[in-house]
Amino acid sequence: MASTPDSAGVAGTLRVVLADDQAVVREGLVTLLGLLPGVEVVGAASDGLEAVELVAEHRPDVLLVDLRMPRCDGVEATAKVRAQYPETEVVVLTTYTDDDSLLAALRAGARGFLTKDADAEAIARALRSAADGQSTVDAELQQRLVAAATRAAPVRSEEVEGLTAREVEVLRLIATGMSNTEIARTLVVSEATVKTHVNHLFAKAGLRDRAQAVAFAYKAGIAG
């Protein structure tokens, strides 16, 4: 494991801190991530406070964090890391009983959401997507995130009315899980044009990433 924030290792290596209060799960994740090519675990924490300390020490690319932990849970740890160390993205691990925390974690700045039974390929994809500033949400978790969002305060009408018809269409396609490339193919426009629409609608609606966009679309009645 790396011992200092300056120990970047091999170029292109994804540096990860993970946090889970269950020793068996934590050790299993260390082993699993250690087997992934191009991934280096630089710290393993047993709670959120330790996770924040390890992020401060190692400045990893991604924090992989459990939602339910003592002293400082995953939501609070996510908020602290995103506020204090914005260069570190956060991917959340959750169980099937954490519905109430999903939306809170999204608002705190989590970039990706995975269930604890995710396989190595899914974890690797989520970590790399987060490091690249992209969101990854497990299909089932997306449904639960949407359900949590629709129970929250509704989107104000002026937020939707401020979008152009094309931006609304792009938002609807984002909510179906399409990538920019797939949206461009569907609308028969360039990917650069889609990126422009995405940037505009994110700015107008105050959205940070695609996970928030999905929740916004369902709350506004644009998707579903």
Answer yes or no: is 50 within a domain: yes
User: What is the predicted pLDDT for the residue at 152?
Assistant: 57
My answer on whether 44 and 85 are in the same domain is yes
Same domain? For 199 and 120 the reply is no
Angle formed at CA 34 by CA 108 and CA 58, multiple of 5 degrees: 50
Do 32 and 100 lie in a common domain?
Answer: yes
Any idea which of 67-71, 144-148, 194-198, 201-205 has the lowest mean pLDDT? 144-148
Among 148, 179, 198, residue at a domain's last position: 148
In a domain, 91, yes or no: yes
Residue 27: count of CB within 10 angstroms of its CB? 12
Residues 6+ apart with CB under 8 A from 89: 61, 62, 63, 111, 112, 130, 131, 133
Task: Report the pLDDT value the prediction gives residue 77, as an integer from 0 to 100.
Answer: 95
Q: How far is CA 203 from the centre of its chain?
A: 18
Position 159, amino acid? E
State the pLDDT confidence band at 224, using cuts at 50, 70 and 90: low
Q: Determine how many CB atoms are found less than 10 A away from the CB of residue 104.
A: 18
Number of structural domains (the chain) is: 2
Select from 113, 128, 148 the last residue of a domain.
Answer: 148
Mean pLDDT along residues 93-101: 70
Residue 4 pLDDT class (50, 70, 90 cuts): very low
Pick from 26-35, 56-65, 91-100, 168-177: least confident: 91-100
**Residue type for position 39:** V
CATH number at 109 reads: 3.40.50.2300
Domain limits for position 206: 155-219
- Looking at residue 154, the DSSP 8-state letter turns out to be P
Mean pLDDT of 176-201: 90
Q: Supply the pLDDT for residue 174.
A: 86
Asked if the model's pLDDT at residue 194 lies above 80, the reply is yes
Q: Is 216 exposed, middle or buried (CB count within 10 Å of its CB: 0-12, 13-18, 19+)?
A: buried
Query: Is residue 106 included in any domain, yes or no?
Result: yes
Final residue in a domain of this structure, among 108, 131, 148? 148
pLDDT of residue 161: 76
Whole-number average pLDDT of the chain: 84
Asked if 111 and 215 sit in the same domain, the reply is no
Copy the structure tokens of residue 103.
């939306």
Bridge partners of residue 39, in order along the sequence? 14
Q: How many CA atoms lie within 13 A of 56 on its CB side?
A: 10
For the stretch 119-165, pLDDT in tens is: 888 899 899 989 988 888 877 777 666 666 656 555 666 667 788 98
